[in-house]
Amino acid sequence: MLLAVSDIEIKAVAFDSAVAQALVTAALADLGQRYGGSGDDTPVSAADFEPPRGTFLVAYAGGEPVGCGAWRRHGDAAELKRMFTAPAARGRGVARRVLRAVEDSAREHGLTRIVLECGWKQPEAIALYKSSGYDVIENFGFYKDHPGTISFGRDL
């Protein structure tokens, strides 16, 4: 799949929609290959991603879904969730565009900070967050005591 960043369209969709669930399933399978198990046992619900509590975004290229990302409220901050780019679309700027759209959406809902949990077996994600101005913060959330967890945050 050859695409330019300018060809990517990002739309908000319901978390329980077929397109969102297909991407989440692929994301969890990817994490499962890296870490084993289900990939991510963090409790989430469709209501977590309904505005104003959160938003689920899908990136499309040529009408096909190629990535996703979401945020949900975590105290006074937005928590980044379910960042994923389909393997065929990786290395083409999809994740960076989705990350920017997630940040913009959270900012539009009045949030001024974004945080996330990541694991050490996701070097591409770690590089993306560091190059996007995220700093390592104290671990929080579901995996805060899990070895290999790295949490990031940045002001919006």
- pLDDT number for residue 7: 85
- pLDDT number for residue 66: 97
Indicate the fold that domain 5-155 takes in CATH: Aminopeptidase (3.40.630)
Neighbours of 80 (CB within 10 A): 26
Residue 3 has pLDDT above 80, yes or no: no
Q: Running DSSP on this structure, what letter comes out for residue 40?
A: -
- For the chain, the domains span 5-155
CB-count exposure of residue 138 (10 Å: 0-12, 13-18, 19+) = exposed
pTM score:
0.94
* Segment 85-103, tens digit of pLDDT: 999 999 999 999 999 999 9
Distance CA 156, CA 152 (A): 13
**Angle formed at CA 62 by CA 23 and CA 18, multiple of 5 degrees:** 30
Average pLDDT, the chain: 95
Residue 1 has pLDDT above 60, yes or no: no
Distance CA 37, CA 73 (A): 26
**CA end-to-end span of the chain, whole Å?**
32
Token pair for residue 43? 């409790």
Looking only at Cα atoms, what is the longest distance across the chain?
A: 41
Residue 39 has pLDDT above 60, yes or no: yes
